[in-house]
């Protein structure tokens, strides 16, 4: 990774095509960096290397199982890779765990967004397995990067989102409902 865009940085502006459905005529929609900001919501964008692979669908399916958890936290959930919208659609139609996704899969075919984020793998130019939590003002508040072979922990993404949304001091292993730290 070169120059990973990190904490406190403004998330790059983008307008990309995404796959939002497998229903004929309703498959694609434009997605913009301004969508979550205009709605006053948090954004959780998770990047994965390639469609039609092995670790990626386990992560996407797990995010989908937890979709309501993100929605209940006023967070827009977006999956993203450098594959085309047509490959995303074919994969969703082909893979039983991806047919009924409740969130969009963004197609960064130009690789411009992945490049701006600094998350392109050097040889194949695919995105690393990186997760961003972005606040309603468009500021990156959390970044987690995994090796291409290692899937992420969706419950940890939710835990961190909860902690960030308290806007308080959260100790190690803090979970929603527990006391935050008070400065005396």
Supply the pLDDT for residue 48: 92
Burial (CB < 10 A; 0-12, 13-18, 19+), residue 167, is exposed
Instruction: Out of 56, 98, 119, 160, pick the active-site residue.
Output: 56
Supply the pLDDT for residue 98: 76
Is the predicted pLDDT of residue 21 greater than 90, yes or no?
A: no
Is the predicted pLDDT of residue 56 greater than 80, yes or no?
A: no
Is the predicted pLDDT of residue 86 greater than 70, yes or no?
A: yes
Supply the pLDDT for residue 122: 87
**Other residues' Cβ atoms within 10 Å of the Cβ of residue 70:** 22
Percent of the chain exceeding pLDDT 90 equals 57
Instruction: Give the domains, in start order, of the chain with CATH numbers.
Output: 15-152 (3.40.30.10)
State residue 65 phi and psi, 5-degree precision: -60, -30
56 tagged catalytic: yes
């Amino acid at each position: 990774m070169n120059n990973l865009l990190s904490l406190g940085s403004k998330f790059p502006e983008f307008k990309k095509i995404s796959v939002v459905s497998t229903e004929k005529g309703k498959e694609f929609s434009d997605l913009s960096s301004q969508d979550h900001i205009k709605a006053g919501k948090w954004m959780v964008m998770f990047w994965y290397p390639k469609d039609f692979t092995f670790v990626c669908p386990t992560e996407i399916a797990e995010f989908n199982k937890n979709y309501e958890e993100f929605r209940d936290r006023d967070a827009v959930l977006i999956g993203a890779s450098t594959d085309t919208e047509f490959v995303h659609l074919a994969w969703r139609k082909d893979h039983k765990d991806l047919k009924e996704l409740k969130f969009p899969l963004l197609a960064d075919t130009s690789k411009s967004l992945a490049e701006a984020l600094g998350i392109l793998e050097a040889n194949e130019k695919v995105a690393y397995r990186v997760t961003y939590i972005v606040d309603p003002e468009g500021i990156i508040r959390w970044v987690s990067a995994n090796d291409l072979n290692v899937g992420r922990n969706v419950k940890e993404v939710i835990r961190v989102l909860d902690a960030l949304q308290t806007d308080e001091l959260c100790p190690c292993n803090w979970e929603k409902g527990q006391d935050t730290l008070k400065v005396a």
